[in-house]
Amino acid sequence: MRNRARLVAGIGNIFLGDDGFGVEVVRRLAERRPRTDADIVDFGIRGLDLTYALLDYARVILVDATPRGRAPGTLYVLEPDLSRIGDADGACSLEAHGVVPERALAMALSMGGHLEYVRVVGCEPGQVPEGDDISVGLSGPVEAAVDRAVDLVETLLHAADA
């Protein structure tokens, strides 16, 4: 069934420090209280699963670590321009074990998805290891932003119906 309830999708790798932000936000959102008006899903690094899930929703909130050059823990609400998604080289390629939100959106749209409302709740990461390094857990500033992000997602869920 297409365009059922709204989707809140947590994105990130819990073994890469602050990259696990989206996963932690959806975990706390799901614990806060059961929802019947939105599906809350931890996609982690499963980009292909996210792409196919996007085909079933018109209203989507993606939650992810989003480096934009500000202080760690800074929250952003981004509204992707869906008319421009897919313009960049390689936007329609996708790794099965990695998620680039723009690529997942581009693939879903190219496969006939009908997205009407898309927001990205992002958080400026502080520590994300490079190479083969592993770091489990969020940095202090990003951890402090998680509950504020949960509140922000709740607000956006209400706005999605307006």
| 43 within 8 A of 99, measured Cβ to Cβ | yes
pLDDT at 119: 94
Give me the tens of pLDDT residue by residue for the chain, a chain 162 residues long.
Answer: 344 579 999 999 999 899 999 999 999 999 987 677 789 999 988 888 898 899 999 899 999 999 999 999 999 999 988 877 754 444 444 454 456 777 888 888 888 888 889 999 999 999 776 777 777 889 999 999 999 999 999 999 988 776
How far apart (Å, rounded) are the C-alpha atoms in residues 133 and 86?
A: 31
pLDDT at 162: 62
Single pTM value for the model:
0.86
pLDDT at 159: 83
pLDDT digits (tens, 9 = 90+) for 139-153: 999 999 999 999 999
Structure tokens at 8: 């809140």
Nearest alpha carbon to residue 60 among 119, 104, 111, 110: 119
- The number of residues in the chain equals 162
Using the structure block, give the residue that is written with the tokens 């008006």: 37
pLDDT at 112: 83
In sequence order, which residues have a C-beta less than 8 Å from that of residue 10 and are 6 or more positions away? 22, 23, 24, 25, 26, 27, 40, 41, 42, 43, 44, 63, 64
pLDDT at 89: 45
6-159 CATH pick, 3.40.50.1220, 3.40.50.300, 3.40.50.1450, 3.40.50.1110: 3.40.50.1450
pLDDT at 96: 44
Q: What are the sequence ranges of the domains in the chain?
A: 6-159
